[in-house]
Amino acid sequence: MASFNAGTVCALLVLCMVVPSLATDYTVGDSTGWTTGVDYSTWTSGKTFAVGDSLKFNYGSGHTVDEVSGSDYSSCTVGNSISTDSSGATTIQLKTAGTHYYICGIVGHCGSGMKLSVSVGKASTTTPTPSGGNTTVTTPAGTTPATTTTTTGSSSATALSPIVAVMIITWSALSVLFLL
Ligand SMILES: [Cu+2]
């Protein structure tokens, strides 16, 4: 009984500590890829980009992916790129919020549609709330008077920092294994 409760506490805590990676990888233009004759504003419409997401550009030879300033994006000016790649498969991680601009650096291609602007918001915050996790822990710990050591360890975990909590969880898990 005691070991079951301790195990549940451990499982719940571990679940709450694992921050899920919600980053999204977008393939620019989807199956069409990065090429001329595409309206990328249509592709971006309805999509929400956040810090941590990445853009994958797939294209044949004769194209590049250049990150440029907003003004160079608007005027399709090549040659001032912040970064450039022509590997045919460029993955760009969106590291900062704000609007990022990409064009093809081959003269004429930007004007033929190879221009992409993405508005990047702050990292998504749909992670489990730590307070909810701690509340869940408190309940089984209080209703488990059988094993004094486990109860003490678990209730301490609610009051201490996550790192200490992890240590206590590990210790609790080892105790459970030992008891079994
Ligand atoms: Cu091009």
Per the model's pLDDT, the better-predicted residue between 17 and 32 turns out to be 32
Please give the radius of gyration of the chain, using alpha carbons only, rounded to the nearest integer: 25
CA of 119 to the centre of ligand 1 (A): 22
Over residues 130-165, the pLDDT tens digits come to 544 443 343 444 444 444 443 344 444 344 455 544
CA of 92 to the centre of ligand 1 (A): 17
pTM exceeds 0.95: no
Over residues 70-93, the pLDDT tens digits come to 999 999 999 999 999 999 999 999
Give the chain's length: 180
CA of 51 to the centre of ligand 1 (A): 26
Domain with CATH 2.60.40.420 in the chain: 25-121
Of the listed ranges 29-43, 99-113, 116-130, the one predicted with least confidence: 116-130
- Which CATH number does the domain 25-121 belong to among 2.60.40.420, 2.70.98.40, 3.40.50.620, 2.60.40.790? 2.60.40.420
Provide the pLDDT for residue 180.
54
CA of 24 to the centre of ligand 1 (A): 25
CA of 103 to the centre of ligand 1 (A): 8
Provide the pLDDT for residue 123.
81
Ion ligand 1 nearby residues (CB, 5 A): 63, 104, 106, 109, 114
